[in-house]
Structure 1
Amino acid sequence: MTQDETGDAENGSSRSIGATFRHLRKQQGISIQELARKSGVSVGMISQIERDLANPSMRVLTAIRRALNISMQAMFSDDQPDTRDEPPFVRRAENRPFIDLGTLQKELLTSGGNHNLQIMILTIAPGASSGNTALSYPAEKGGLVLEGELVLSVDHREARLGQGDSFVFDSALEHGFRNESDRPARILWVIGAVQFDRHL
């Protein structure tokens, strides 16, 4: 994956995650205070994220996304026009949208449009994790370790995964991950049949 020092992908969307959240929040006519109430994320943290002064953890990212009732696809601001006559089920390598969360990068592989299946590549820096608080929301997740190592925790059980190892689990169970190695881990990450419920 090619990226410059600012963390923007050379071949993906240039809009930052903060700018994307701000755009989607304003598009829905929601104030920062209302988003904070719905998501359980503080006003200060949301403000910092929108101004690109903080990199949200996976838990915070998921909480804000669910409060806005948006798909994973929407976070990638996948709105760049494609002038080529491509089938709608294809995503070319040079057109992958990209999100940089500091120690965690997401590269979208799923083609454009709304899908119940989202496929991406996660690059997790050495020492990085999904956050101090476990994730949990209705979906199924699966993946394959492409490079490096990953410690995956699901329902209070841990597994250390290496290159070529794969996994599938119910993400309604508490889960999280971390990279304890001294080199980046690249994970093919799949999220299926995501259901959004603003009241969870």
Structure 2
Amino acid sequence: MDDILMNIGKQLKRARQKRELTLQQVARRSGVSPGLISKIENLRTTPSLSVLLKIMQTLSIDLSELDLSPKDQEDYVLIKNGQGTQEEREDSQNLEYQHLFSSSISDHNLRVYTVSIAKGAYRKPISTDATELVYVLSGKVNYLLKKEKVLLEKGDLLFFDGSIPHGVSNDFDEVVVLLKIYLIHQYKG
């Protein structure tokens, strides 16, 4: 169920873009903050029903237009190399998110990605409604936590509360590849 709610964010983003509306326009019309809409669209939080309905009304989306079909549960999940789905993130220029896997766990949603960060890429610190785990598969990158710069190199693991503002800065001469795992808390607003 949580994965369905997370994927609604993608659908809302497509609908907003199709209608050529900005985040600020939708926020002003719906009474939902642009930051929360961005978090929903960029899969950083799960919307509450009231927030979802406000955004849907603003975008004139009928419930029947949304894909609410659950994915069948299997005994195991195997994602072969290259089978991930690329996700566009407006708040993460020069970072390529490859979605590998999602699953519901209690009142959380688990999402697994590989993230490629281009040479010279910088993403300003943002916060999420998740606990995050970052494992460096190749390269090195500076991770920004609050005002601290933490150097992460191949084989390093970083685990932190995503509500802490965090960003990245690739100040090195190679692309860095991360395995990134989000345990996203359900939004109760």
The answer on whether the counterparts of 1:35 and 1:68 sit within 8 Å (CA) in structure 2 is no
1:62 aligned residue: 39
Within 5 Å, give how 1:150-189 maps onto structure 2.
150-189=141-180
Shift in Å, 1:176 = 1.1
Q: Where does residue 40 of structure 1 map in the other structure?
A: 34
CA contact (8 A) 1:91 1:109 kept: yes
SS in 1 for 2:123: coil
Instruction: Pick the aligned partner of 1:96 from 84, 94, 100.
Output: 84
Give the % identical residues: 22
* Richer in strand (by share): 2
Following the alignment from structure 2 to structure 1, what is the Cα–Cα distance between the partners of residues 188 and 144?
24
User: Residues 102-151 of structure 1: CA distance to partner in whole angstroms, max 9, x if unpaired?
Assistant: 5111111115x6561111000000111223xx212321111111111110
Task: Give the distance between the partners of 2:46 and 2:158, measured in 1 at CA.
Answer: 29
Is the counterpart of residue 140 in structure 1 residue 134 in structure 2? no
Deviates more, 1:121-130 or 1:91-100: 91-100
Q: Would you identify which runs of 4 or more consecutive aligned residues in structure 1 move more than 6 Å?
A: 17-20
Q: Which residue of 2 aligns with 1:105?
A: 96
Secondary structure of the equivalent of 2:127? coil
Paired residue for 2:57? Answer: none
Match of 1:119 in 2: 112
Q: 1:186 to 1:61 in 2, by over 3 A?
A: farther
CA contact (8 A) 1:117 1:190 kept: yes
Label 1:175 to 1:197 Cα distance change in 2 as closer, same or farther (>3 A): farther
Q: Distance in 2 between matches of 1:61 and 1:121?
A: 21
- Residue type of the alignment partner of 1:40: P
Q: Deviations over 1:28-84 (max 9, x none)?
A: x9x75224653427xxxxxxxxxxxxxxxxx995364468839xxxxxxxx9xxxxx
Higher relative CO (CA 8 A, sep ≥ 6), structure 1 or 2?
A: 2
Call closer, same or farther: CA 1:87–1:63 in 2, change over 3 Å. Answer: closer
In structure 2, C-alpha distance between the alignment counterparts of 1:26 and 1:174, rounded to whole Å? 27
What's the TM-score, normalizing by structure 1? 0.58
* Alignment match, 1:21: 13
The answer to whether the 8 A contact 2:120-2:172 is kept is yes
Tell me, what secondary structure is at the counterpart of 2:13? helix
Judge conservation of contact 1:40–1:63 (CA < 8 Å) in 2.
no
Give how far 1:184 is off: 0.6
Give the TM-score normalised by structure 2: 0.60
